[in-house]
Amino acid sequence: MKTFLLALALLSTLFGAEVVEVGEKYITSQKCKACHLHLVNEWEESWHHKSHYKNDEYFRATIDYISRKTRKSPNSIKIQCAKCHNPRISVTSTDMSYEIDTLMHLQTDPRVDEAVNGENISEGINCVVCHNIDKIHQDKNESVRGMDRVSWIASGTMVGPFDDAFSPYHKTQKRDFMDTKPNTLCFVCHANDRSVSGFVFTNMQEEYGESTQKCVECHMGPRREYVAATLKLDNGKAKKREIRTHKFQGGHVESFVFGALTLTLKEEADDIVLTLFNPNPHNIPSGFGSRELLIEVYYKKGTRVIEKQILSLTRYFTRKGERASVAHLAIKASKDTSVPAKGEKVIKVAKVEKATDMEVKVYYRLVNDEVRSLLKLKDPIWSRKSLVTSASLELQK
Ligand code: HEC
Ligand code: HEC
Ligand code: HEC
Ligand code: HEC
Ligand code: HEC
């Protein structure tokens, strides 16, 4: 009886959210390649695929930083972040005794190590994250996200956009969030991202307001005619379908960022007025962490640059003791300076004597200088400047 109770207590502290194990036949995208190779290849390019401690340097460095500053074990932070980053993890919370065991270098529960190093989460947000969601609980408090906002369908059933799909490898079921209401699916994780102390640093759902534009239209591209599966079941041919690409391109892809904003320049008495317009239904950059827009203003005499000015639109976060911090430990932030959804941002710069021409270039950067140096990020992608838009103007006055 005693051991039974103990086992029960262990279970209840290690498994916060309900875990439904993924069967071996479906556990990685490898298993889908025989029939969905084109979709697997596209998804492998995405940052959903990279959402794992070992595959995304920024994610890893942030976890290590939080672990150092809060003196909690890296595993317990990984499990906290897994709610959205690795929602098929098999252990969903750790308790005080786990922390004490780690701190004292005692033997820790092996299931925690197994869970954070498990094959099923090594692929980040893979096929059986989105396609194994049975229900999305919209009635839950808006702070409840990721795995805590969904319930999983029994392993072996794939939910999708079609109500007449047949596959010999798995069962299929149609869901609205795969068809007419896909934003509900994206908002399971892309909303209400908050710091350890409950400070909401990004909320794409709020930015979106009443917009009904579908995330998938831009991030998976419009529906086009192709096949969903290459298996030849339809009179010896693969069935034609309306499908979407699975690349989930976003801020990490230079060509995707290009054109995200438009820029117009206007001359006033003593100033040049820069108007940045964002036609998209969410902010640019979206409030997430420490993304940045860099505005480079060139004053020219003819074709020669006589002065240069750089403006940065980003957000800074502070943790306890007013110290600079990553968003995830923030208790406070500077004003959100992003260009609002479907809105504009107007910036004035003073004219410079003798300048006859102006050129302005707007770049997007994934991580601002402050956080890049706090985390010592090395990969050039984090400091890369991706061109968003540019404009020039001949001065009259
Ligand atoms: C509510 C769901 C949610 C939780 C919980 C969450 N994240 Fe995220 N995280 C996201 C989403 C969605 C994105 C992508 C947003 C974007 O690119 O703007 C993201 C992106 C990131 C990025 C940027 C990665 C990159 O490649 O640019 C980092 C770093 C990050 N998260 C760290 C963490 C850490 C550390 C934790 C745990 C303390 C955590 N997140 C918990 C939803 C979440
Ligand atoms: C972030 C969520 C997400 C992930 C991860 C994901 N999908 Fe999808 N998938 C969707 C959505 C949404 C649709 C519906 C697209 C539409 O509107 O037609 C879809 C559609 C499909 C379809 C129907 C054909 C099509 O392309 O529209 C198949 C088959 C499919 N996915 C397989 C996969 C496989 C295999 C993987 C893993 C490599 C995967 N998906 C990963 C969200 C996801
Ligand atoms: C042996 C071939 C085969 C394998 C392996 C396979 N599928 Fe499928 N899958 C199919 C076929 C066939 C369809 C139906 C296609 C159609 O009707 O156009 C399908 C349909 C789907 C759909 C759409 C369901 C719907 O109702 O809209 C999803 C999602 C899906 N598969 C996901 C996966 C995932 C994830 C894996 C890997 C774990 C996988 N499949 C492995 C053959 C396969
Ligand atoms: C289970 C949680 C989850 C769901 C559901 C989800 N995402 Fe994500 N998404 C994330 C996380 C976490 C990241 C960041 C991964 C990283 O960079 O390591 C991300 C990254 C992205 C990115 C890349 C952003 C960038 O900065 O390059 C795009 C685009 C994206 N998601 C779109 C979508 C769309 C569209 C949907 C709905 C069809 C969706 N996501 C559903 C969690 C999720
Ligand atoms: C009209 C097209 C469009 C729609 C609709 C759209 N996006 Fe985006 N999204 C973009 C563009 C363009 C960018 C690149 C600029 C950037 O990274 O800020 C982007 C960037 C992102 C990023 C990276 C954010 C950042 O600034 O770091 C994420 C995450 C994302 N989108 C998720 C979503 C989700 C989730 C939805 C639906 C709720 C959605 N998007 C709807 C066009 C769109």
The pLDDT tens digits for 118-170 are 888 999 999 999 999 999 999 999 999 999 999 999 999 999 999 999 999 99
Ligand 3 nearest-atom number relative to CA 127: 35
Tens digit of each residue's pLDDT (9 = 90 or more) over 269-281: 999 999 999 999 9
Rounded Cα gap, residues 39 and 48, in angstroms: 13
Provide the phi-psi class of 194: left if phi over 0, else alpha when psi is between -120 and 50, else beta.
beta
Q: Using pLDDT thresholds of 50, 70 and 90, give the confidence band for residue 60.
A: very high
In a domain, residue 120? The reply is yes
30 has a pLDDT exceeding 90: yes
In a domain, residue 248? The reply is no
Q: Who has greater pLDDT, 341 or 119?
A: 341
Whether residues 32 and 64 share a domain: the answer is yes
Which among 215, 248, 288, 315 is the best mutation to test ligand 5's pocket, defined by most ligand atoms within 8 Å of the CB?
A: 215
Ligand lying nearest the CA atom of residue 247: 4
Whether residues 159 and 307 share a domain: the answer is no
Rounded Cα gap, residues 276 and 274, in angstroms: 6
Whether residues 133 and 112 share a domain: the answer is yes
Picking from 223, 243, 263, the residue at the C-terminal end of a domain is 243
Angle between the N-to-C axes of helices 57-70 and 74-85, in degrees from 0 to 180, rounded to the nearest 10:
130
- Nearest residue by C-alpha to atom 6 in ligand 4: 186
In a domain, residue 2? The reply is no
Which among 218, 337, 339 is the best mutation to test ligand 5's pocket, defined by most ligand atoms within 8 Å of the CB?
A: 218
Ligand 3 nearest-atom number relative to CA 28: 38
Give the count of domains, the chain.
2
6 has a pLDDT exceeding 60: no
Whether residues 233 and 313 share a domain: the answer is no
Rounded Cα gap, residues 164 and 173, in angstroms: 9
The letter for the amino acid at 230 is T
In a domain, residue 4? The reply is no
Rounded Cα gap, residues 32 and 229, in angstroms: 10
In a domain, residue 302? The reply is yes
Average pLDDT over residues 200-213: 95
Tens digit of each residue's pLDDT (9 = 90 or more) over 81-100: 999 999 999 888 888 888 88
Q: Is 137 in the pocket of ligand 3 (CB under 6 A)?
A: no
CA of 312 relative to ligand 4 center, distance in Å: 25
Whether residues 223 and 268 share a domain: the answer is no
12 has a pLDDT exceeding 80: no
Ligand lying nearest the CA atom of residue 85: 4
Ligand 4 nearest-atom number relative to CA 366: 26
Torsion angle (degrees, nearest 10) of CA 39, 42, 46, 51? 50
Question: Rounded to 5 degrees, what are φ and ψ at 58?
Answer: -65, -45
Q: Using pLDDT thresholds of 50, 70 and 90, give the confidence band for residue 194.
A: very high
- Nearest residue by C-alpha to atom 21 in ligand 1: 59
Torsion angle (degrees, nearest 10) of CA 263, 267, 269, 274? 10
Rounded Cα gap, residues 85 and 58, in angstroms: 13
Q: Which of 10-24, 51-65, 76-90, 350-364 is least confident?
A: 10-24
CA of 159 relative to ligand 1 center, distance in Å: 25
Whether residues 107 and 210 share a domain: the answer is yes
The letter for the amino acid at 266 is K
**Residue 341 near residue 283, CB atoms below 8 Å:** yes
pLDDT at position 18, please?
79
349 has a pLDDT exceeding 50: yes
CA of 34 relative to ligand 3 center, distance in Å: 10
Secondary structure of residue 391 in the 3-state scheme? strand
Show the beta-strand stretches assigned E in 13-75: none
Whether residues 284 and 163 share a domain: the answer is no
Ligand lying nearest the CA atom of residue 86: 4
257: its two tokens: 């960022």
**Residue 378 near residue 351, CB atoms below 8 Å:** no
377 alpha carbon, distance to own chain's centre: 18
Q: Is 209 in the pocket of ligand 5 (CB under 6 A)?
A: no
Whether residues 263 and 237 share a domain: the answer is no
CA distances from 233 to 100, 162, 229 (A): 56, 16, 9
185: its two tokens: 């699916």
Q: Who has greater pLDDT, 108 or 378?
A: 378
Rounded Cα gap, residues 282 and 206, in angstroms: 9
Rounded Cα gap, residues 270 and 328, in angstroms: 42
Ligand lying nearest the CA atom of residue 382: 1
Ligand lying nearest the CA atom of residue 234: 3
20: its two tokens: 């439904």
Maximum separation of any 2 CA atoms in the chain, in Å:
89
Ligand 2 nearest-atom number relative to CA 177: 12
In a domain, residue 5? The reply is no
pLDDT at position 15, please?
54
CA of 250 relative to ligand 5 center, distance in Å: 6
Whether residues 196 and 331 share a domain: the answer is no
Secondary structure of residue 26 in the 3-state scheme? helix
Rounded Cα gap, residues 87 and 117, in angstroms: 13
In a domain, residue 334? The reply is yes
Average pLDDT over residues 379-389: 98
Q: In the predicted model, what is the mean pLDDT of the chain?
A: 94
Whether residues 17 and 131 share a domain: the answer is yes
Radius of gyration of the chain (CA): 24
CA dihedral (332, 206, 185, 49) positive or negative? negative
223 alpha carbon, distance to own chain's centre: 22
Picking from 243, 268, 285, the residue at the C-terminal end of a domain is 243
Picking from 215, 243, 271, the residue at the C-terminal end of a domain is 243
Q: Quote the domain boundaries for residue 332.
A: 254-394
Q: Report percent pLDDT > 70 for the chain.
A: 96
- Nearest residue by C-alpha to atom 36 in ligand 2: 127
Whether residues 96 and 216 share a domain: the answer is yes
Pocket of ligand 4 (CB under 6 A): 47-48, 50-51, 56, 59, 84-85, 87, 125, 129-130, 146, 182, 185-186, 188-190, 215-216, 219, 248, 250-252
Q: Is 131 in the pocket of ligand 3 (CB under 6 A)?
A: yes
Whether residues 207 and 282 share a domain: the answer is no
**Residue 364 near residue 252, CB atoms below 8 Å:** no
CA of 144 relative to ligand 3 center, distance in Å: 30
Pocket of ligand 1 (CB under 6 A): 47, 56, 58-59, 62-63, 66, 77, 80-81, 83-85, 145-146, 189-190, 193, 250-251, 286, 288-289, 328, 366
In a domain, residue 174? The reply is yes
pLDDT at position 7, please?
47
Q: Enumerate the β-bridge partners of residue 394.
A: 357
| CATH number of residue 353's parent domain | 2.60.40.10
